[in-house]
Chains A and B, each alone.
Chain A
Amino acid sequence: MSLLDIQKLSLSIHGTPILDNVSLSLRPGEILGVIGESGSGKSMTAFATMQLLPDGANASGKILLQGQDLLTTSEPELCAIRGKDIGMVFQEPMTALNPLQSIGKQVAETLRIHDRSLSRGEAMRRAANTLERCGLPGDQFPLSRYPFELSGGQRQRVVIAMAIALQPKLLIADEPTTALDVTTQAQILVLLKRLVSEDGMALMMITHDLAVVSGMADRICIMRAGKVIEEGAAGTLITESKHPYTRALFEASSHQPDRIQGAHNVPLLQVRNVVRDYALPRKGLFAKPGRHRAVNDVSFELHHGESLGLVGESGCGKSTLTRAILGLEEVQGGEILLDGEPVFAANQPNHKVRRKMQVVFQDPYGSFNPRHKVARLIAEPFHLLETQPRGAEREALIDEALESVGLTPVDKHKYIHEFSGGQRQRIAIARALIIKPKLIILDEAVSALDVSIRAQILDLLADLSARFGLTYLFISHDLSVVRAITDRVLVMQDGEIVEQGETGAVFDAPAHAFTRTLIAAAPRLPDIPAHIGDTHGA
């Protein structure tokens, strides 16, 4: 007997088809991994099950929860089911909690909304128990804490506590760890697994990351463009699937671009004993503002043509260090030299040096002005030059930059919203290339991309580095990507570099305890037998 049985679910929103004949089922206590790239409809399947679809949604088919069709259930009945029979955990823990209400109240609300007779005190007591089960013991995390006083991982624990407070039969987790660091991700996955086995819950785990579910799911379902492509037991599907899309997906997630080692032994970027302090808000009316040391005595060198990785958890000082290297902020100690000259001189960024480096950020949409055309967007770095190219010369440079990232000159007349995420990131790279810099800083540049797009961008980066002799500083929390694209790696923790060395050597034999923790926490795909890996080609 299935707990959840989705039969031929089709869904359109304002006439746009989203889901097409989706059928899925979950037995009590089972973990189902739903995998797909963006736009595959995996999240909408979850929202359809919760019946929390956006306005204008039109669903057909059946969603049976213990035999009851949720598509025909009335809204008041659905309210009684949500939170009690089905709990849901969301992707973005930073925004999933009401910022104005204490965590205790928010967890207790789940209990009280479904049981009016429950007293406030009793609900709070049970909320405390639930939070403790989710790894937030009351002595360290009192119920009176507000969300802004918690980290992302802790907030996700609160969201999980709200979802499981009534021990629902089904828990839906929509990308629950995507926004978290690897070590936090590993802890949240362990927590979910434990709760599922303790309470006998079924778990629908939605993710784009194959490695995340491969270690915990009983069954896996692969979705693409609103359809279920393949479904099966986790072990056999990962190792034996012959479906071309599934294989391509697996290929892409462990993609290794062909790279030519082009490093010379000449330093391009020299970071020497850099210290970066921030002022903290004053504690009292007349108290001195405190200081937070975000980067502490960091030194490293980056050679011409080299690709260097920088890994660490959020808040470790990666971004602060990046801003200092770009000359956007002054450092409080040490020096940063590019080609032998300081990046920040006489209280302002050194333009002469600044034009030798460019940066590509994570969010391919947020880093473009939506009201400018591509030609103007990618020509932005020209303002760093002493003489700005004009007329035909300018157009030629724009065309060249677009072509070098695999786009066409026609694209320069378009706006940024006309491009997909992968194309936007290509445009961001074109913008970085246009003034022919020596160093490109890639700040989580592929983190927001789907695996197949990510593989293409990694290939592009490898190709560009070989063609133009570029040097990369590759900042990422994703260890597999860093392993694929870098020669050397720096590991950063609490503002300090705790380990550095050849990428392969560091990953195979990490010396520092923190590096070992990071590597152990990173989810890994099981090895795929070679004879199956060969069949790809899609």
Chain B
Amino acid sequence: MLIYALKRLRSLVLSLLVASVVIFAVIEVVPGDPAAFMLGINAQEDTIAALREELGLNLSVYQRYFNWVGGLLSGDFGISYTYRSPVAEIVTERLWVSLPLAAYALSLTVLLAFPAGILAASRRGSVTDLSVMGFTQLGVAIPNFWFAMLMVLAFAINLRWFSAGGFPGWDEGFWISMKSLTLPAIALALPQASILARVMRSSLLDTLGEDYVRTCRAKGLSKAQALWRHALRNALIPVLTIIGLQFSFLLAGAIIIENVFFLPGLGRLVFQSISQRDLIVVESVVMLLVFAVILVNFAVDIAYALVDPRLRRGR
């Protein structure tokens, strides 16, 4: 198990290294002069030169890369050009919205998808199965921003249970903040839960058809016992893969939902930074998201090993 974890850790570090080089190359080297780009076409020559100096663009490429990575490692992400404050502060502030939102949405996803998928698989072909399949089809098909607007209409404007948008900040109290994240989390979770329920169902159906499930039945286990004790854990591997992908997506891909609900999250930050050409922020947030994705994949790899003894023993 330790060797397996170390091996995964090794590939985590390598992935991060490669990602940092690629991101640096794309943003700093390829499109010409970042300073001119950030200031737009009407900028004065001397303003650009001043910004170049400020950004350290006159240094060599290698020096800039190592300065950047060194900064990242010590928590110094640089100063945002538009906000005029340290990127680390801005990002941390946003992360405190995006991270809880992603976790909230993912919990809802799992809470909805597991029972739905298991129920559908255990009653294959029944009305339950057909309705789960029907609803999940809808869930995948409906655009989540549209569904989000419907929820705002119903629960915020008509029923007045929730506010229509915005985020009060964690200082206002845990439950108030969670409440303001509830509608966005549901909107995010709906399509993800639909996908995950379908994966859970088909994966479980596959394992229910395996020989060892028949062996369990021959031992005297009921269908339900065979499902809960044997088939479910075997069905989890593909499900874990999807959960990992979904968490990464929820963290980075909530841009539209954050805009619908006016949430100061990472997605909106990237969106705004790109339109304001604040490359330093974009670069840092992208690197942070890449780090999150790789970290989640590492967690999924470890979860695989916890489920499957064959991986633990390094086979």
Contacts and interface: CB of A to CB of B under 8 A. Distances in A.
Interface of A: 50, 52, 75-76, 79-84, 87-88, 90, 92, 95-102, 109-110, 113-114, 146, 148-149, 159, 162-163, 281, 283-285
Interface in B1-43: 3, 6-7, 10
A468 to B, nearest CB: 42
Interface stretch (B48-56, B73-81, B197-205, B219-227): B219-227
Given A50-B218, A82-B218, A114-B220, A281 B230 contact: no
Contacts of B218: 50, 52, 82-83, 87-88, 90, 163
Contacts of B313: 146, 149
B3 A79 contact: no
Given A95-B211, A99-B212, A148 B315 contact: yes
Given A92-B211, A146-B310, A285-B7, A98 B222 contact: no
Given A90-B215, A98-B230, A285-B7, A146 B309 contact: yes
Contacts of A281: 314-315
B206 interface: no
B160 interface: no
B25 to A, nearest CB: 30
Contacts of A95: 210-212
Nearest to A81: B220
B310 A99 contact: yes
A249 B241 CA distance: 51
B214 A90 contact: yes
12 contacts: A52-B218, A75-B222, A81-B220, A83-B221, A92-B211, A99-B309, A109-B229, A110-B219, A110-B220, A113-B220, A113-B225, A284-B3
Contact of B215 (A79, A97, A102, A283): A97
B138 interface: no
Nearest to B234: A100
A283 B222 CA distance: 41
A100 B237 CA distance: 11
Given A95-B210, A100-B233, A285-B6, A162 B220 contact: no
A447 to B, nearest CB: 20
A102 B233 CA distance: 13
A82 B211 CA distance: 16
Contacts of A109: 216, 219, 221, 229
A206 to B, nearest CB: 14
A109 B216 CA distance: 9
Interface residues of B, number: 28
A109 B213 CA distance: 13
Nearest to A111: B219
A79 B221 contact: yes
B308 interface: yes
Nearest to A50: B218
Contacts of A102: 309
Contacts, number: 85
A100 B218 CA distance: 18
B307 A100 contact: yes
A146 B310 CA distance: 8
Majority-rule SS of B interface residues: helix
Interface of B: 3, 6-7, 10, 210-212, 214-222, 225, 229-230, 233-234, 307-310, 313-315
Residue from the set B220, B221, B308, B314 with the largest chain A CB neighbour count within 10 Å: B220
Contacts of B229: 109
B227 to A, nearest CB: 12
A63 B65 CA distance: 78
A113 B221 contact: yes
Contacts of A52: 214, 217-218
A149 B10 CA distance: 27
A159 B221 contact: no
A96 B212 contact: yes
Contacts of A82: 217-220
A163 B314 CA distance: 31
Given A52-B218, A113-B220, A113-B225, 14 more contacts: A79-B222, A82-B217, A83-B221, A90-B214, A92-B211, A96-B214, A97-B215, A99-B310, A100-B307, A101-B230, A113-B219, A146-B309, A163-B218, A285-B6
Contacts of A101: 230
A286 to B, nearest CB: 10
B10, B222, B225, B315 — most chain A CB neighbours (10 Å): B222
Contacts of B222: 75-76, 79
Nearest to B209: A54
A440 to B, nearest CB: 34
A98 B219 contact: no
Contacts of A96: 211-212, 214-215
Contacts of B212: 95-99
A146 B311 CA distance: 12
Nearest to A113: B220
CB-CB nearest 5 A-B residue pairs: A83-B220, A95-B211, A83-B219, A88-B218, A82-B220
Contacts of B233: 100
A162 to B, nearest CB: 6
B179 to A, nearest CB: 40
Residue from A92, A109, A283 with most neighbouring chain B CB atoms (10 Å): A109
A82 B210 CA distance: 18
Query: Which among A80, A97, A98 has the highest number of chain B CB atoms within 10 Å?
Result: A98
A281 B313 CA distance: 11
B298 to A, nearest CB: 16
Nearest to B4: A285
A67 to B, nearest CB: 20
Contacts of B234: 98-100
A100 B308 contact: yes
A127 B308 CA distance: 22
Nearest to A89: B218
Given A76-B222, A114-B220, A281-B315, A162 B310 contact: no
Contacts of B315: 148, 281
Contacts of B7: 285
Contacts of A98: 212, 215-216, 230, 234
Contacts of A84: 220
Nearest to B214: A52
Contacts of B225: 113
B217 A162 contact: no
Nearest to B213: A98
Contacts of A114: 220
Contacts of B309: 99-100, 102, 146, 148
A285 B3 contact: yes
B218 to A, nearest CB: 4
A490 B303 CA distance: 48
B215 A148 contact: no
Contacts of A81: 220
Contact of B211 (A75, A90, A100): A90
A82 B225 CA distance: 14
A84 B218 CA distance: 9
Contacts of A88: 218
Contacts of B6: 285
A375 B210 CA distance: 35
Nearest to A284: B3
A162 B215 contact: yes
A148 B220 CA distance: 24
B126 to A, nearest CB: 12
Contacts of B219: 82-83, 109-110, 113, 162-163
Contacts of B220: 79-84, 110, 113-114
A52 B214 CA distance: 8
Contacts of B216: 98, 109
A90 B217 CA distance: 12
